[in-house]
Amino acid sequence: MTLTGEKADIARMLADQRKNFLYTVKGITDEQARERTTVSELTLGGLLNHVVSNERSWMKIIADMDEHSEFDMSRMGTEYVLGPDQTVAGLLAEFEQVAADTETALASLNLDEQIPLPTAPWAPERTWQSARFTLLHILREIAQHAGHADIIRESLDGGSTTMSMAAEAGMTFD
């Protein structure tokens, strides 16, 4: 499958942002993934769980086109937590599969298609948005949380996405 045009651009940007996010969890243990390093309740494992769940959920909303769907409020307590039975390795495998599934779906997706959004306590009336906007929302979520994760990682062990990217490119710092 070869994407072209706008779809290729969206897929590339999603892949770039996923890669940035993945730098922040590279080489960490499950214990480190659960460690809180800032005043925030966020952890690297919790953010990883969220970005995986978020992309999977939005792509399911696009696929289902369910005009009667409601937001699953039971997710609220576990969305930003690395659960006791979850591992970094397991979530990384899920993230890879979710990314592949998104790219596959993108190939046949009409970006202008209007998607019915689930109702929720904060959005009781059904609204619609384009598949394009939904994909851009996924992109925004990954990018925003990559920034959060970078701060958490730097507080954890001094790791930095920018420094990791530079090292991967062969740059050295004295």
pLDDT in tens, 59-77: 999 999 999 999 988 877 7
pTM over 0.85: yes
Q: Which residue ranges make up each domain of the chain? A: 5-168
C-beta separation of 49 from 82 below 8 A: yes
Q: Bin 17: left if φ > 0, else alpha if -120 < ψ < 50, else beta.
A: alpha
pLDDT in tens, 114-141: 999 999 999 999 999 999 999 999 999 9
- Residues in Cβ contact with 38 at an 8 Å cutoff, skipping those fewer than 6 apart: 151, 152, 155
Q: CATH: 3.40.30.10, 1.20.1250.20, 1.10.3720.10, 1.20.120.450. Which one for 5-168?
A: 1.20.120.450
Q: What distance in Å separates the CA atoms of residue 166 and residue 29, rounded to the nearest whole number?
A: 23
